[in-house]
Structure 1
């Protein structure tokens, strides 16, 4: 172990995990996100760091379903009561006044799964959308006009940590800035020693901004193999990754026929991966709703008005030259036609130049102590609701009177996000040097908003590529 391993283990004794790539091969054949794997490794590791492989294998066999599991048959045919840790999807059936669930990995469809009212009323977490938790299933045979169904009779949400954000913020003081950035990268499941430079590390952790800053909208274009899909699909259960398919206004915002809210109200951030392959239905309606939402966090569909703090992340590929630079000067030409509107693009706050990051090779594989992904995701989620950082950023920045409001908003939100990630211990402007805020919060924020500005100017002559002169107050 090196010094950083010791520091992480000392200051996060219950929240850290020692990661050895070989250990995680035990999950081969199991479609599990990182926050579940880390929790299981921690659960079956003793104080000396020894993994109880046999115990973990038994737990996986008994309580983690896989596609070939006979759980559905055991519940239906043999009348067993089965308790499992799994991902399931909750749906509201308005027409039949029922709450239903499906488990895709077990081929249990929504018309086969039922959640009794007494369970739904006891657990407010049973909202529409994807949920991870420990559930107990039983089979209820048909009776009268009522069809048979698999019922979810008990539920415990997967939330193993009661997060103490104040402790996390205080402990940050025990690490230097370079150490802390390495802690963040380790917690994203990568090896900080595999990066080429400090600048590259700072760019890499920019992918965490939408997890900590509410209503932040970002775009990242990068070649394949730079790990963007993995980050947005595995780091947090509070994020939702859309990969291909068709996006509708009903799916994203509100379904009029089912009278149910869409993805945007159920998650901290929505990421659209392989954006060039995604299709958009009823484009005019969806684009109008999206413009309003990205501007204000509010949407209106039919007579229903909704609000959310979720941000939107667009992830796409970009062709590069032999010199590892974009082939085309206009980056946004790689986005679908749906996103070619300058008015829509102007509502995105920042752009990540993913081609400046390394392809994922073995030297980026994490080995050592890191924060448990589940704990880390809860911390990121908790930091979203702390408004101190935005106020501190605003107090440290001098903004010209004639500055465009969208530019000011974008730079403030990005700077606030960097404060949360890099300097979470800061509780007032006096707690951070102006030099640190300028170099690690304000400058990266201006750079990322500046790229959006320049790219919009290239496709629409009515826009200027110049940002307002936002700088540190003297």
Structure 2
């Protein structure tokens, strides 16, 4: 290890190994968040600390934490946690303790509780009556002023702080329970101009990380594309009448935001929807969920064999297209966004090969007219299964605060902000354009509410918005061959055309384009035809022919030139699968006896693993009797303890490679941050991220990505292949 240390120009290792401070510390971003949003943010790990066995939404707990623990002072936080715990212990109603709480109300005469309250009109007696979900009481009289101030009490119910009184009378028709006061758990006001001014103090990366922490996730566990996919889930809260679908594997947190994030969203089971519940009850004229909630989300929406109400599908199609629905002879309008989330049971290539990406939907919804109303399709298969290390311990907005901010921006329209830089393709239909515009407007409100975005930043979210709508339209083309194909893309003002593809289109081009209509004119069709013709070929290097004199098959030998290696630059998208060093690098390393790798970041264990996997591929490709010289240029960690671990790791790699006929020399990289490979066969490969192209995973032994690189998701990166000799 001493030789490695000398070669890398390392600093002295502490004799006792040093100490590592394992206490959690605030990041620079956390300090900045507290500086500009004091009182409106809370440490996100506190929710778990206070929740216990209280089955309440996160926004209820964060409302309380925002009252007592919205600070960066540890003493204040701890005092606030104890206060909130005390409030929950004394006032939150557990269903199995409802009789005890009733007793407290009776004995004290008046008692404050936290419960979910819903209100219904008793037409017979012409009064409003409340039902308390946890306490288990009903028929409690509510005055008209309270109902008028909080109409959501009539639809779905609202979590509230209530003072309940008890007064018994001899009249059995009169409820002994009296509502003394009711306060919904949500903010009443906020400073929007202050929000915009504070946003300007953050970079785009910092702001995205703040939003991720506000949702409850650790931004370090997500790449840029992964962060944007999470933030698309917020667009229905900030954009009126936004129609979103997310289908993907179980356990990726598809429904969490709609049940926990905002008091303005309602999550219902897809099987519990009826026309009266969702739109209007014709018998009494009462509006349904869309009239009171900003977001109505349908959980467990997928399922081919689920029974559906055809009338509901028809009225939903009209509402999603026109923002209105009929009640007899009267037409009503609403602003609720519609979100559909469900699980998939097949892989993406399987769905593309055998059907389409909407294949899991109930038959009545597997309808081009319904699907064409969707503005964006979140590819749920790109979202990681939620793991404990993905949750944030940093600071984020108190959920109720950001929920009110997003609600206030529903009145704004940012859909034209790209037009000073870009124009959409001329053959994009009105409905496609609307989908792109609404997604773009929503992302602009979320990321750049102060409207200070560069052309590059605007291009990023415009491209992302186009991709989400293209995913919808491409699948509709598989279902309905009569629909006209669309060329999705944009054109910079005064520039050339830029086409947009979906990630699964790049990953599985053969399957993705297999069901395109004949009018699409896709080059892929011609390629597939050529591949089909090639399938009849015999062994490599020969073509089957029939001897006309004998009628028997003969082989005509033809000379097949060696394939020419690609020269130039290639970019790969975040979350893409199917990539490996074997396909990216090994064709250029074969035959080399000397290889140089310049990568200053071979420090962490996963980076060492990347190096080992490359060396193992080189070793397996060479003749066992040959030896290869491999020169690694890298840099040492600055912290003594981490440097010691790095040197141990590199030493083990050197020894292991030597046993396989690869002599690894390690030296200090003089080039700073550039990462590249050079071979004695004349190739130079410039690596944007070095070998560190794969996303972090939980590293469990049963993760298929641990066995094969092509099963891992990658980070966004580029590779340039240069022939130097």
Aligned residue in 1 for 2:114: 85
User: Contact 1:393–1:412 at 8 Å: present in 2 too?
Assistant: no
Counterparts of 1:423-438 in structure 2, within 5 Å, are 423-426=448-451, 431-438=452-459
TM-score normalised to the size of structure 1?
A: 0.90
Match of 1:411 in 2: 436
Q: Which residue of 2 aligns with 1:187?
A: 214
Alpha-carbon contact 2:142-2:179 (below 8 Å) kept: yes
Partner of 2:368: 342
Deviation at 1:146, TM superposition (A): 3.8
SS at match of 1:331: coil
Deviation at 1:311, TM superposition (A): 0.8
SS in 1 for 2:112: strand
Q: Relative to 1, partners in 2 of residues 1:153 and 1:391: Cα closer, same or farther, differing over 3 Å?
A: farther
Greater relative contact order structure (CA < 8 Å, 6+ sep): 1
In structure 2, what is the equivalent of residue 327 of structure 1? 350
| Alpha-carbon shift at residue 120 of structure 1 (Å) | 3.9
Instruction: Find the aligned partners of 1:366 and 1:379 in 2 and give their Cα distance.
Output: 21
Alignment of 1:49-448 (within 5 A): 49-50=74-75, 51-52=78-79, 53-67=81-95, 68-70=97-99, 73-74=102-103, 77-78=106-107, 80-109=109-138, 112-117=139-144, 119-120=146-147, 126-141=153-168, 146-160=173-187, 162-195=189-222, 197-276=223-302, 283-321=309-347, 325-329=348-352, 330-387=356-413, 389-393=414-418, 397-399=422-424, 403-426=428-451, 431-439=452-460, 441-448=461-468
CA distance in 1, matches of 2:214, 2:208: 10
State the distance in 1 between where 2:145 and 2:180 align: 9
Runs (5+) with no aligned partner, structure 1: none
Query: Which has more radius of gyration?
Result: 2
How far did residue 464 of structure 1 move? 3.3
Q: 1:11 aligns with which of 29, 33, 36?
A: 36
CA distance in 2, matches of 1:106, 1:73: 8
What is the number of equivalent residue pairs in this alignment? 461
Measure the CA separation in 1 of the matches of 2:150 and 2:292: 16
Q: Distance in 2 between matches of 1:298 and 1:346?
A: 17
Q: Is the CA contact (8 Å cut-off) linking 1:289 and 1:299 kept in structure 2?
A: yes
* CA apart distance, 1:280: 8.0
Matched, 1:26 2:57: no
Q: CA deviation at 1:306?
A: 1.9
1:299, CA displacement in angstroms?
0.8
Structure 1: distance between partners of 2:305 and 2:267: 15
Point out where structure 2 has 5 or more consecutive residues left out of the alignment. 1-25, 495-725
Q: Does the Cα contact within 8 Å between 2:165 and 2:178 map onto a contact in 1?
A: yes
Paired residue for 2:66, among 12, 21, 42? 42
Determine helix, strand or coil for the equivalent of 1:333.
Answer: coil
* Aligned-residue offset at 1:467: 4.2
> CA deviation digits over 1:82-115, x for unaligned, max 9?
2223321122233432212212222224xx3321
Q: TM-score, normalised by structure 2?
A: 0.60
- 1:205 is paired with a residue whose SS is helix
Name the CA distance, whole Å, in 1 between partners of 2:372 and 2:345: 23
Q: Do the aligned partners of residues 451 and 125 (structure 1) sit closer, same or farther apart at CA in structure 2, a change above 3 Å counting?
A: closer
Cα offset, 1:307, TM superposition: 1.2
Taking the aligned partners of 1:282 and 1:225, their CA distance within structure 2 comes to 25
Change (3 A) 1:123 1:130: closer
